Structure 1
Amino acid sequence: MSSPSDPAQATAQTRPRVTISGQLTRTGAQPVATPVASPAPTRPVQTVTLAPAADPSTQALVQARRLGGQGRYHEAEQVLLRAMASDPASVPVRRYLATVFLALAKNREAHAMLKAMVQQLPDDEQLLLNYSTALFRLELMHEAHMALEDLVRRFPANTQARVNLASIHLNNLRDPNKALEVLKPVAAEASADLQFALGCVTAKLGDFGESLAHYERALAIQPAHTETLSNFLFSLHYRHPVDLDRVRELSRKHGQAVHENAVRRGLVLAPAPPRPTGRRLRVGILSADLRLHPVGHFLETVLDALRQRGVDLVAYANQAKGAFVPARIRGAFGQWRDIADETDQRVADTIAADDLDVLLDLSGHTTGNRIGVLMRRPARRQVSWLGYFGTTGLPFIDAVIADPLCVPPGEERFFTERLLKMPHTRLCLTPPAKAPDVAPEPPMATLPWITFGCFQNASKINDSVIALWRRVLDAVPASVLRLQNGRFEEEQQVLRMRERLRNAGIDLRRVFISTNLPREHYLGQYAEVDVLLDTFPYPGGTTTAEAIWMGVPTLALATPGMLGRQGEAMLENVGLGDWVAHSEDGYVAKARALADDRQAAVATLRSLRRNLRETARKSPLFDAVTFAADLERLLRTFCSS
């Protein structure tokens, strides 16, 4: 849903960003359904010169708009409320106050005010648009849908109304074809929000080439459009092969545009004083995923270990208030701040007052990021870690936490930021608490075929991956392929995957497709797979680590870059380097070797099922105590430099 807007001047509200998908899936509760387009991107403040005879309401309105343009909505609200007290009939003041209410997530107040104004001005196009936004925010989806349908019918040239209506079709009704139909009549318009929405829709339809083209058009129109920037950079990592030099240059170029826009609008906070020497390390963690989520799985024991080492932790949780937060995550933080409904300016002011040594951003360009907070530079040091997998290109991110395996010598050039390398791994998974025992026998010990599996998000299964899997299945005639992920709950996704496999020449009788189960049951599914086949250039993360815990190896293809080497880094850390291929031919050869000597393959897989969990438990990939000590040392050194 769009940001609230005003006919005189579009306001600038920065909210959690939308991406087409995430390295770490977002399945937790949301305050409202995720829209296609986030609120309007920030724009330079327009200078307004008041005539000497301007009335108090006009003066208040100009002042409030100036504050709103700087993200200072709480102050704008107070200015407008004072103006309302002296002139309650002023339509412009009431109109902009409703906009500010929406910006502050005071959705009931906005709804009440807009409902009265729409009754008074039933043909006011902009009021109708803002009213539909209020309905959406209150999760009155049917009413919002009907209001937008009527708005588009009456005002077919209203691009933002079409973008918002497409959002409902895409994210609430899960009908990307209908969303595209809504957008097509205005598809050629030079609107960054529109081109961003078209990029989201075409990505959902599986056309990443068209999606990237729309994102590029949006950035050409508005280089600092942060929603598009995040989606564009994220999407580039799905294309094989990834041009990492191009990714770096585009990240740098558009990240600089975002930074310059923030400086021009006066949003950057004054530098913090030097860090006091000798005090405990104060670390803030900014994330939309401090909850039951893959990011949470990689954080839980690490946070607890950091707390036990005396690190002061402050959470800035950008998730919905109803999201389930494991007690161990919540208990690790000395202070917990829910920020999902707070403006960027308010969050930045809070972080600055918390006097952090370093702020760890766990989102990068994935869903739920708060680039609008980070660009204000509220912390002394700002570091990207865990939830993103490469350069952000953002000048206000000082460093990226990496490791020697995922960023080997020579690949530092792919980053605009300084690299802080952990000694072994940048990731440490919490052992699953409810994981079943490892099945003692691999399926191929009793079945006449080998069961290959892939539990990755369907968007990672590109045409190059499918083509390589065809080669594997051809090389191992006595084999089947099991695909499983949450997207396969949707019949259209299953049908589309079957069509792609068929077009690649794969016999569908050898493929089994199923959806995900709750985690404790899903982990049991590894017992039915002999070997996982990893995707590329976007490999598995959580799935690869969970498979290790369940005694199942992953056949990975290492490609350049932090993301491309993620599987390699995990496997090397648990002694499974032999399962890493460095070419497509090598990938096929390693798969074929399982069939060439079945007796040896069964013995190897049986041994892994008996021993791998204990090996993993002691490895850097699962040993949170050692990992936390390494991380604290890394951050303390960085903050002192």
Structure 2
Amino acid sequence: MLCRLRNYDEAIASLNRALAIKPAYASALANRALALQELLRIDEAMADCNQAIAVEPNDMNGWLGRASVWLQVQHMAEALHDSEKAIAVDPDAVQAHLVRGICLAALGRVDEALASYDRALEIEPDFPSAISNKIFTLDFAADASVEQHQRARQVWWERIGAKFASEAARPHDNSRDPDRPLVLGYVSSDFNAHSAAFIFKPVLQYRDRAQFEIVCYSCSSKVDAATDEFQKIADRWRDASQWSDDRLAAEIRADGVDILIDLSGHTKGNRLGVFARKPAPIQAHGWGHGTGTGLPTIDYLFSDPVAIPAAVRHLFAETVVDLPCFVTLEPLPIELARASTPAISNGFVTFGVFNRISKISDQAAQAWSRILERVPGSRLLIKDVALDDQLVRDNLLARLATCGVPAERVDLLGTTLRVDHLASFNRVDIALDPFPQNGGVSTLEALQMGVPVVAKLGNSLPSRAAGSILTALGLPDWVTDSEEAYVDIAVSRATEIDDLDKLRRELPGQVRAAPACNPVAYAQAADEAYRAMWKRYCSSDA
């Protein structure tokens, strides 16, 4: 119960007392591991899980706990194994089906992942994490339409959010002065070194401080140098990592927040249960998984006309508000040296894919195979943190081979420091964006480093992300809506080495100048949107 209420410190103290009386108490060890994991005490959590399994190998909780720890440290193969052991012990272990689904999704086995979430929901139809993970994983499904995406979000509201509808109806006593300074509340589990933070940080950092006071509600135990930066940017900082939804909603009301912004959507660590309670008179969603939430209590969704075309906007629970691009990215942390396009010195073209490998669909891999076949001597460089795991590397190479991509023409890179990650773009001539789930931060980083990106435009927002970015930055001719044209663009551009080198020199400046990636211009657009929302609210009867 204490863990469900996010009181992890109290939960550990209580379990310590139980284990002092009975040290070989498998369930208590597994539960303590869960609390320790939430506090990022990973080694201790793993030790408790190992002990729980040793004490009682036929208790599902030890296997499930260890699967969750493996998952957190990105050891997907081990996490999948342990989740399946948990299911073998207890076929109705709903959390184990969830963890199994997350592992399968991370390994690119999307259909199997969706089946695991569906099995979890057969057992427990109102299991919030299973619904949210299904929503997130649908982003990777090649045939998922906008209608399917939004229907999945509606299920979350019907089974989870609607329970709090009566609280959402409570009035707000915020002063309806249309021109007064406003209090903005940002809710996220990613105020740390997370890719989502690179996207929304400029919005906070470059706001008009005379007009907007911000309160950051940090919902994660992860604290690092990036967290310190966000604490300095915020006017008020709230560590909500161990607050229940009820308490967080009450604190938001007490803080007098005028506009509350969700930065997580249905990703891990989200607090959509708080937004269902509507603790602020206006609520918005954007930047972190900004694909819509399905909550009628969230009024606005930040996006742009390419990411969400006018023809499908009626399907969203939120009113779409256009910015220069649905995402932005903070400027590069330091001025990195940029090399000439590497084909000049290498004598061959290197295509790069720096996205999560879970985004690599068979359809995209087959297109890459045709590109490599038509560009003699070319190579494919793939980089992702998951590739630190040898089993994941082997599985990826095997899957690529079945799609026609020869293993001997593929190079794999794993985790590096961010500065080295960015420098790795100096090894790439052309980046190939995956589909149907496009890149976001990785696409923007490539362009900041002068590497052009080929993108295929799909129907749903996740499959339109790269096209949106490239269009906003003045590169629409690198975007197409057909797989055949995607291949043709990559092949034809690979023959134009001098043009690639010229573009490589010009692109960083072009990116910095565009409103989509100029932090001051982008933040000003967000500020104007907030003010328009507030004036609309003040003039309404809501």
TM-score, normalised to structure 2, is: 0.90
Deviations 1:125-159 (CA, angstroms, capped at 9, x unpaired) = 86666456566667433541244215643xx3x55
Superposition deviation, residue 117 in structure 1: 4.9
Q: Look up the equivalent residue of 1:411 and give its one-letter code.
A: V
- Cα distance change, pair 540–435 in 1 and its aligned pair in 2 (3 A): farther
State the match for 2:540 in structure 1: none
Q: 1:287 aligns with which of 188, 199, 208?
A: 188
> Structure 1 residues 343, 434: CA separation in 2 closer, same or farther (over 3 Å shift)?
same
CA–CA separation in structure 2 for the residues paired with 1:328 and 1:164: 33
Structure showing greater Rg? 1
Aligned to 1:39: none
1:148 corresponds in structure 2 to 52
Which residue of the partner structure matches residue 389 of structure 1?
Answer: 290
Letter in 2 for 1:628: A
Greater CA drift, 622-631 or 281-290: 622-631
Counterparts in 2 of 1:504-543, with a 5 A limit? 504-543=403-442
CA contact (8 A) 1:466 1:504 kept: yes
Contact 1:406 1:569 in 2 (8 A): yes
Q: CA deviation at 1:271?
A: 2.7
**CA separation of 1:433 and 1:279: change in aligned 2, threshold 3 A:** same
Q: CA deviation at 1:553?
A: 0.5
Preserved contact between residue 262 and residue 285 of structure 2 (Cα < 8 Å)? yes
Greater Cα shift, 196-205 or 394-403:
196-205
Which residue of the other structure, out of 74, 82, 85, is the alignment partner of 1:182? 85
Residue 369 in 1 paired to residue 270 in 2? yes
SS in 1 for 2:140: coil
Structure 2 residue 307 is matched with structure 1 residue 406: yes
Letter in 2 for 1:148: A
Whether 1:426 aligns to 2:333 is no
The correspondence for 1:339, drawn from 240, 243, 261, is 240
Which residue matches 1:562?
A: 461
- Where do residues 584-603 of structure 1 align in structure 2 (5 Å cutoff)? 584-595=483-494, 598=495, 601-603=496-498
Contact 2:303 2:325 in 1 (8 A): yes
Which of 13, 18, 22 is matched with 2:4 structurally? Answer: 13
CA displacement, residues 416-461 of structure 1 (integer Å, 9 cap, x when unaligned): 2221222x2122211112241322x212234332211111111111
Flag the 1:583–1:355 CA change in 2: closer, same or farther, 3 A.
same
Q: Find 1:106's aligned residue among 10, 27, 35.
A: 10
Correspondence list, 1:468-479, <5 A: 468-479=367-378
Percent identity over the alignment is 27
1:82-126 superposed Cα distances (whole Å, 9 cap, x missing partner): xxxxxxxxxxxxxxxxxxxxx35324532343234537xx78x86
Distance 2:106 2:473 in 1: 36
Q: Does structure 1 residue 242 correspond to structure 2 residue 144?
A: yes
Please give the alpha-carbon distance, in whole angstroms, between the structure 1 residues aligned to 2:477 and 2:37.
52
Aligned twin of 2:258:
357
Whichever residue aligns with residue 275 of structure 2, its letter is: L
Per-residue Cα deviation, 1:524-544 (whole angstroms, up to 9, x for no partner): 222221100000111111111
Contact 1:443–1:528 at 8 Å: present in 2 too?
A: yes
Structure 2 vs 1, CA of residues 437 and 110 (structure 1 numbering), >3 Å: closer, same or farther? same
Which of 444, 449, 465 is residue 364 of structure 2 equivalent to?
465
Which amino acid in structure 1 is aligned with residue 379 of structure 2? V
Match of 2:451 among 535, 542, 552: 552
Superposed, which structure 2 residues align to 1:112-261 within 5 Å?
Answer: 112-118=16-22, 130=31, 133=34, 139=41, 140-141=44-45, 143-150=47-54, 152-153=56-57, 156=58, 159-171=60-72, 174=75, 175-186=78-89, 188-189=91-92, 191-204=93-106, 206-261=108-163
- Whether the 8 Å CA contact 1:552–1:609 is kept in 2: the answer is yes
Q: Distance in 1 between matches of 2:4 and 2:240?
A: 14
| Superposition deviation, residue 629 in structure 1 | 1.7
Question: How far has the Cα of 1:408 moved from its partner?
Answer: 1.8
Structure 1 counterpart SS, 2:380: strand
2:436–2:463: 8 Å Cα contact kept in structure 1? yes
Within the alignment, does 1:631 sit opposite 2:496 as a pair?
no
Q: 1:132·1:148 contact (CA, 8 Å) conserved in 2?
A: no
Q: Report the secondary structure of 1:563's partner residue.
A: helix
User: Which deviations, in whole Å up to 9, do the C-alpha atoms of 1:291-349 show, x marking residues without a partner?
Assistant: 23322222333322214453111100123253222655332211011111222222111
The DSSP-based 3-state class of the residue aligned with 1:496 is: helix
Partner of 1:582: 481
Tell me if 1:605 matches 2:500.
yes
Corresponding residue SS for 2:157: helix
Q: Residues 430-445 of structure 1: matches in 2 within 5 Å?
A: 430-439=330-339, 441-445=340-344
- 1:217 aligned partner, one-letter code: R
Aligned residue type for 1:110: S
**How far 1:402 moved relative to its partner?**
0.9
Instruction: Decide whether aligned partners of structure 1 residues 300 and 493 sit closer, same or farther in structure 2, where only a CA change above 3 A counts.
Output: same
The structural deviation recorded for 1:593 is 1.2
Question: Which deviates more, 229-238 or 248-257?
Answer: 248-257
- Once the two structures are TM-superposed, the CA of residue 414 in structure 1 deviates from its matched residue by 3.9
Residues 1:298 and 2:193 aligned together? no
**Aligned-pair CA distance for 1:172:** 5.5
Counterpart contact for 1:435–1:523, Cα < 8 Å:
no
Distance 1:204 1:626, change over 3 A: closer
Secondary structure at the aligned position of 1:434 is classed as coil
* TM-superposition CA deviations, 1:166-224 (whole Å, max 9, x none): 324544693135314422324532x5334323323443554322221121122233332
Name the SS of the counterpart of 2:411 in structure 1.
strand
Note the alpha carbon deviations across 1:602-622, whole angstroms, 9 max, x for none: 232122122211111110122
Counterpart-to-counterpart distance in 1, 2:226 and 2:256: 25
Once the 2 structures are TM-superposed, how far is the Cα of residue 270 of structure 1 from its aligned partner? 2.7
Structure 2: state its 5+ residue gaps.
537-542
Moved more, 429-438 or 282-291: 429-438
Q: What is the rounded CA distance, in whole Å, between the counterparts of 2:13 and 2:517 in structure 1?
A: 48
Q: Secondary structure at the match of 1:306?
A: coil
User: Are the equivalent residues in 2 in contact too, given 1:531–1:555 (CA < 8 A)?
Assistant: yes
> Structure 1 residues 313 and 499, CA, compared in 2 at 3 Å: closer, same or farther?
same
Q: CA deviation at 1:495?
A: 0.9
Question: Aligned in 2, Cα 1:551/1:168: closer, same or farther, shift over 3 Å?
Answer: closer
Out of 447, 452, 463, the position equivalent to 2:351 is 452
The alpha-carbon distance between structure 1 residues 177 and 334, as it changes in their structure 2 partners (threshold 3 A), is closer
Partner SS, residue 325 of structure 1: helix
Quick one: structure 1 residues 289 and 165, their matched pair in 2 at CA, closer, same or farther if it must change by over 3 Å? closer
Alignment equivalent of 1:640, drawn from 531, 535, 539: 535
Aligned length: 530
Kept after mapping to 1: 8 A contact 2:380/2:410: yes
Partner of 2:173: 273
RMSD of equivalent CA atoms: 2.6
Give the CA deviation at 1:160. Answer: 4.5
- Alpha carbons of structure 1 residues 394 and 223: separation in structure 2 relative to 1, 3 Å: farther
Asked whether the 8 Å contact 2:379–2:409 carries over to 1, the reply is yes
Q: CA deviation at 1:243?
A: 2.3
Residue identity matched to 1:113: R
Tell me which amino acid in the other structure corresponds to 2:101: G
Cα gap change, 1:173/1:605 in structure 2, threshold over 3 Å: closer, same or farther?
closer
Aligned to 1:60: none
Q: Aligned partners of 1:327, 1:215: CA distance in 2, in Å?
A: 36
